Amino acid sequence: MLRIIPVNTICLPLLFRKWRESANGAIRGQAALALAHQPLATRKDILWVSRGEVNNLLHSYGYLNDAEKIAALVFAWYLQALDDVELRRRAHELLKSGRGPSDTALEELVKKLEVDTVSLGE
C-alpha cells in the first residue's frame, strides 16, 4: 500500500537555503533536486523564504538547470511571485522539453494550475 507522506514545510526553506547559499556545488545540486521532487504543500503553508529572494532567482531563470527551474517555479507558486498564467507557461515549456527529472513537483504543479484555472473559469 502506498503511503502519502505529508510535506514538511520546515524542510522546504532549509533545502532552499542549501540550494541558494551552500559553497559546495554538489550540495547545491542535491538540494535543488530534492526540492524538485517534493510534493506540493498548500500556498497557505508558511515558508521562510522571502518573495524578494524568489524574484531574484526568477531573474536568473534562464541560467538555471532543469531541477533548479522546477524548484524556482514551485517557490514562485508558493509565494505568488509569478501569476498562474506565466507559471503554467513556464511549467509546460519545461515539461515539453523532456529534459527535466521525471516524477517531480512539476507535474503536480501543472495539474494544480489546471485545476485552479478550471475553478476560476479561465
CA distances to 66, 68, 82, 91, 121 from 49, in Å: 21, 16, 15, 21, 31
Tens-digit pLDDT profile for residues 84-112: 899 999 998 888 887 655 567 888 888 88
95, 110 contact by CB (below 8 A): yes
For residue 4, the model assigns a pLDDT of: 45
* Residue 85 within a domain: yes
82: domain range? 11-120
For residue 2, the model assigns a pLDDT of: 42
* Residue 99 within a domain: yes
**pTM, to two decimals:** 0.81
* Residue 4 within a domain: no
* Residue that has been written with the C-alpha cell 550540495 in this structure: 27
Q: What is the DSSP string of 38-55?
A: SPP--TTS--S--HHHHH
- Residue with the bigger pLDDT between 106 and 7: it is 106
* Residue 5 within a domain: no
* Residue 1 within a domain: no
* Residue 6 within a domain: no
For residue 76, the model assigns a pLDDT of: 92
8: confidence class by pLDDT, cuts 50, 70, 90: low
Tens-digit pLDDT profile for residues 10-68: 788 889 999 999 999 999 999 999 888 888 877 776 567 888 999 999 999 999 998 89
* Residue 2 within a domain: no
* Residue 61 within a domain: yes
Q: How many domains does the chain have?
A: 1
Residue 120 has pLDDT above 50, yes or no: no
